[in-house]
Structure 1
Amino acid sequence: MTQENDLRIVSLLPSATEIVAVLGLTEKLVGVSHECDYPPEVKNLPICTEARLNSAKPSVEIDADVADLIAQALSIYQIKTETIEQLKPTHIITQDQCDVCAVSFGDVEKAVDELTQSNPKVISLQPNLLTEVWADIKRVGRSLNVESQPVLKQLQARIDACTNKTKVLSEVSLPSVVALEWIDPLMASGNWIPEMIKLAGGKTEFGLVGEHSPYLEWENLVKADPEVIIIMPCGFDLQRTRQEIQALTEKAEWSNLQAVKNKQVYLTDGNAYFNRPGPRLGDSLEILAEILHPDLFSFGYEGTAWERLQK
């Protein structure tokens, strides 16, 4: 077993980087993905991946580019094998949950086989539920020989602080919610998000617990006419989400939705919170709780992690 002093960790996805950090091992990170940006000190580490996509393009063009790469059986992301070779990691943390989210597990295995200076242990994460995210934190801790229980205990306490209030709410007090993971084309949020909406005191429309995010027809959103719409585009921060929202607000039926009329449309920093299956899902639950039930919760995220759409 590798001793803590000897650890050299390469993380190939942002959520894994945050897991390593919350376990107290930030200083043991020697390389990260091009998308890893939290905690801030990891931004100075060597970058071990790159994207074939131009993320500055509009949502609809990004979606088309992803579909084109998949149709060609090409990876969306590339591993910088030479960089990893130089870093001589003892562990590489990757994922096998979503090929659109980070480098594929197969590409990581291929890169490891090509290494000659090290023989790192590969830890692959594949969470679809909140409990599986917590299990991944425990598994990473065990693989790196550090204690995870204090972190998990604190996260559970934050969940309990929310659910102790929401579980006693009457059925009529639970608003219907549509969470959107992509704007153009529309995609409803899946995986752990429907579960979190329920914990926060809402009733989710579309998206199934533990299932990948589905495409959503505009007509079906209009028909559902939810009380609350929460927009959390994958990979977009709050500023970028503001830029992309025009694709929705220009639709003819937009102004007729009850969520729009009642100013119950919310923009969020999906990139920092909801899209990353790591410890900041605790923050994400608190964000949902204070959006859905501001009379019960005020955690102070408004203005930085979320804002009300005023249009």
Structure 2
Amino acid sequence: MRIKYFHFVILILFYFQIAYANNTQKIVTLAPNLTEIVFALELEGKLVGNTFLCDYPIKAKSIFKVGQYNDPSLEKILTSGATVVLATKGNPIAKLNKLKSYGINIIEVNPERAEDLPVIINDIAKKLGAEKKGEIVAKKIKEALFSLENKPKKNKSFLFALQFNPLYSVSEDTWLGGLFLKSGLKNIVGKSIIKYPIITKEFLIKNRPDIILVGSIKGKNIDESLKIQTQNIKNIYGNDIDKIKVIIVPDDVLVRPGPRIVEGIKFIESL
């Protein structure tokens, strides 16, 4: 126990030596959308760590990994020499507080509505010294949101199947659900105390949607993914699946609250 404690003390001293010997800002991101924001702000040269889930853009895969989204390693964050950590809901609060006690600047964000995204990106950009680039990125999102809200409303119902077995979906009371509301598409889940509820087969049969949105399957192309996901839905609806349009959602553009939400909005407009 003493050896482990001694090792950790040495690591902390090593961290301060790295961090303060070089005044250059060094950033660690603890969620994929935060990594994407850093790249969009063209600050990837300062990114010294991210999580195993951070895989976009492709350069993000080669960044030093500090652990899982919900369980990052304090030692690895300190080893990276981070001076700033971008965090969000789901990151362990106790570890964030520990990092604060070491003098690391923690920038915490938690978008509740789609409209929060440009505000959050502007705020991050200001704190990281990329204000002008932040304004450009935020403006694109604002314009996309304005476009979505002012397009003719769609008279269709939908279900967003985030995963199967069990089937999770998204309620209206989320930033993602809010996007669909702007388009006029009717979410069969509606409002829910649980933002990402498990949906039962009985509920799905009673509330059959016009469209079911599904994700692609890792290691499979779009056609293969569509075939597998359609079978998952057929297991619920049987031959009634012919009355439902099954659509593959482009990877991650609708589940990561970040710059690529502009692509996600264009996808919603195409439905």
TM class by shorter-chain length?
0.7 to 0.9
Q: Which residue of 2 aligns with 1:151?
A: 137
The 5-angstrom pairing of residues 41-190 of structure 1 reads 41-50=59-68, 77-96=70-89, 99=90, 103-113=91-101, 115=102, 119-147=103-131, 148-166=134-152, 169=153, 173-190=154-171
AA matched with 1:130: A
Q: CA deviation at 1:112?
A: 4.9
Q: CA deviation at 1:146?
A: 2.0
Compared with structure 1, are the counterparts of its residues 274 and 207 closer, same or farther at alpha carbon in structure 2 (3 Å cutoff)? farther
Q: CA deviation at 1:122?
A: 0.4
Looking at structure 1, the residues matched to 193 and 262 of structure 2 have their Cα atoms a distance apart, in angstroms, of 17
Q: CA deviation at 1:231?
A: 1.8
The 5-angstrom pairing of residues 13-28 of structure 1 reads 13-28=31-46
Compared with structure 1, are the counterparts of its residues 281 and 186 closer, same or farther at alpha carbon in structure 2 (3 Å cutoff)? same
Q: How many residues align?
A: 243
Contact 2:28 2:84 in 1 (8 A): yes
Compared with structure 1, are the counterparts of its residues 151 and 105 closer, same or farther at alpha carbon in structure 2 (3 Å cutoff)? same
Compared with structure 1, are the counterparts of its residues 246 and 107 closer, same or farther at alpha carbon in structure 2 (3 Å cutoff)? farther
2:192 matches 1:222: no
Looking at structure 1, the residues matched to 256 and 76 of structure 2 have their Cα atoms a distance apart, in angstroms, of 25
CA shift digits 1:171-200 (9 cap, x unpaired):
xx5111111222111122131222211233
Looking at structure 2, the residues matched to 249 and 178 of structure 1 have their Cα atoms a distance apart, in angstroms, of 11
TM superposition score normalised by structure 1: 0.69
Looking at structure 2, the residues matched to 163 and 252 of structure 1 have their Cα atoms a distance apart, in angstroms, of 33
Q: CA deviation at 1:24?
A: 2.0
AA matched with 2:160: A
Looking at structure 2, the residues matched to 207 and 238 of structure 1 have their Cα atoms a distance apart, in angstroms, of 32
Aligned-residue Cα RMSD (Å) equals: 2.8
Q: Which residue of 2 aligns with 1:29?
A: 47
Q: Which has the larger radius of gyration?
A: 2
Contact 1:178 1:226 in 2 (8 A): yes
Q: CA deviation at 1:35?
A: 0.8
Please state which structure has a larger fraction of its residues in helix. 2
Q: Which residue of 1 aligns with 2:264?
A: 284
CA shift digits 1:209-253 (9 cap, x unpaired):
8962112111111111111111248xx658399286377245253
TM superposition score normalised by structure 2: 0.79
Contact 2:118 2:139 in 1 (8 A): no
Looking at structure 2, the residues matched to 201 and 33 of structure 1 have their Cα atoms a distance apart, in angstroms, of 35
| SS of corresponding position for 1:107 | helix
Q: Percent of aligned pairs with the same residue?
A: 22
Contact 2:74 2:95 in 1 (8 A): no
Q: CA deviation at 1:32?
A: 0.8
CA shift digits 1:260-281 (9 cap, x unpaired):
31451112245x2122111111
Looking at structure 1, the residues matched to 149 and 193 of structure 2 have their Cα atoms a distance apart, in angstroms, of 20
Contact 2:28 2:86 in 1 (8 A): yes
AA matched with 1:267: I
Looking at structure 1, the residues matched to 238 and 36 of structure 2 have their Cα atoms a distance apart, in angstroms, of 37
Looking at structure 2, the residues matched to 140 and 238 of structure 1 have their Cα atoms a distance apart, in angstroms, of 34
